[in-house]
Amino acid sequence: MTRLIRPTLLTLTLLTTAAAQDAQTVRLGFFPNLTHAPALVGLERGTFQKALGKVKLDAREFVSGTTLTEAFAAGQIDIAYVGPGPAINAAGRGMPVQFLAGASEAGAVLVVRKDSGIKSYRDLGGKIVAVPSLGNTQDISLRHILNENGLKPRADGGTVTITPIAPADVLAAFAAKRVDATLVPEPWGAALEAQGHKVIGSEKTVWRDGKYPTTVVIVNAKFAQANPQIVAAFLKAHTEAVAFINRSPAAAQTAVNNQLLKATGTKLDPRVLQRAFARTRFTTNLDLAALTEYAKLNVEAGYARSAPDLAPFIRK
């Protein structure tokens, strides 16, 4: 009996070790937003590549959670920084997704064009409001705000037109008067405010007194199973990046600005970044209760028929 068990365990060990060594590259998805600062800081400082050693880091930019989860579903991304909305939708659709860690909380504001005449949420009726993409985290939050104020999207028989615009492009959309308002992640909210536009929904009044995840880190479950050491190394680097941001915010803002310049061709005024940082918290914690509430808002928004039990999707 013992002779039979030992070779089997040895074989399993060898197979596990071989699988753990399969990946030569980690494909990472992220957005050029402040709410993805751990990704931006980790890339700028080389934190991820140092932790991964000989495994190559292939970092890819996305403009919305919708496009990122499409790439995730197609097996083009292994690990990603993404909003909870798209991540929950991915879990609900049966994608092999695991929640690895939190990344940021709050960090999104509702800004109205200075000549729009909008002074409160109720004034959004009949207006055009931009979100990064339909079905993303800010879109779901906006639909909840409308619902709480007796308004509906035009597509649902109401008067509010919700339109997707990449956050980095929303400044141009305001300048051209193509939209009246936007629920947008930082630093783009602070950048609009610096141009004289008005914040009517702060990071705290958007939802849950600001105690909600804005960005989480997810991993392809199959990749995680085959490459546990690589995932552990990445998670360690992510934790280091978050700690650096909280320990050295001025240096972190410089790192973020450098990455924004590379990604968007735009470098922000340091005072804008400081204001955006003040509205955003960076953490590795995953708030399951908040994620569960978000899943219910996703149903309220009409993007899912039921809220999935997210506990099994949290990586232990």
Q: 201 near 124, Cβ under 8 Å?
A: no
Query: Tokens for 66?
Result: 């919708």
Confidence tier at 76 by pLDDT (50, 70, 90): very high
Residue 44's pLDDT is 97
Q: Residue 20: what residue type?
A: A
> Does residue 204 surpass a pLDDT of 80?
yes
Other C-beta atoms within 10 Å of 198: how many?
15
Confidence tier at 286 by pLDDT (50, 70, 90): very high
Give dist(CA 163, CA 77) in Å, integer: 26
Give dist(CA 5, CA 112) in Å, integer: 68
> Does residue 92 surpass a pLDDT of 50?
yes
> Does residue 6 surpass a pLDDT of 80?
no
Other C-beta atoms within 10 Å of 222: how many?
12
Query: Tokens for 270?
Result: 């340091």
Backbone angles phi, psi at 198, to 5 degrees: -110, 135
Q: Comparing C-alpha atoms, which of 76, 13, 36, 55 is closest to residue 229?
A: 55
10 Å CB burial of residue 48 (0-12, 13-18, 19+) is: buried
pLDDT, average across residues 137-164: 96
Q: 307 near 296, Cβ under 8 Å?
A: yes
pLDDT, average across residues 42-54: 97
Determine which of 90-94, 155-159, 178-182 has the lowest per-residue pLDDT on average.
90-94
Q: Number of C-alpha atoms within 13 angstroms, CB side, residue 248?
A: 11
User: Hey, what's the torsion of the CAs at 149, 152, 153, 155, to 10 degrees?
Assistant: 170
Chain-centre distance for alpha carbon 282: 12
Of the chain, the percentage scoring pLDDT greater than 90 comes to 79
Place of tokens 């991540």: 87
Could you please report the per-residue DSSP string of 219-242?
A: EEHHHHHH-HHHHHHHHHHHHHHH
Give dist(CA 163, CA 89) in Å, integer: 19
Q: Residue 105: what residue type?
A: E
Backbone angles phi, psi at 125, to 5 degrees: -55, 130
> Does residue 145 surpass a pLDDT of 60?
yes
pLDDT tens digits, one per residue of 172-201? 999 999 999 999 999 999 999 999 999 999
Residue 173's pLDDT is 98
Chain-centre distance for alpha carbon 50: 23
Q: Please, what sign has the CA dihedral across residues 29, 33, 36, 41?
A: positive
Q: Which of 1-15, 83-97, 228-242, 289-303 has maximum average pLDDT?
A: 228-242
> Does residue 8 surpass a pLDDT of 90?
no
Q: Residue 15: what residue type?
A: L
The overall average pLDDT reported for the chain is: 90
pLDDT, average across residues 17-36: 80
For residue 205, what are the contacts with CB-CB under 8 A and spacing of at least 6?
Answer: none
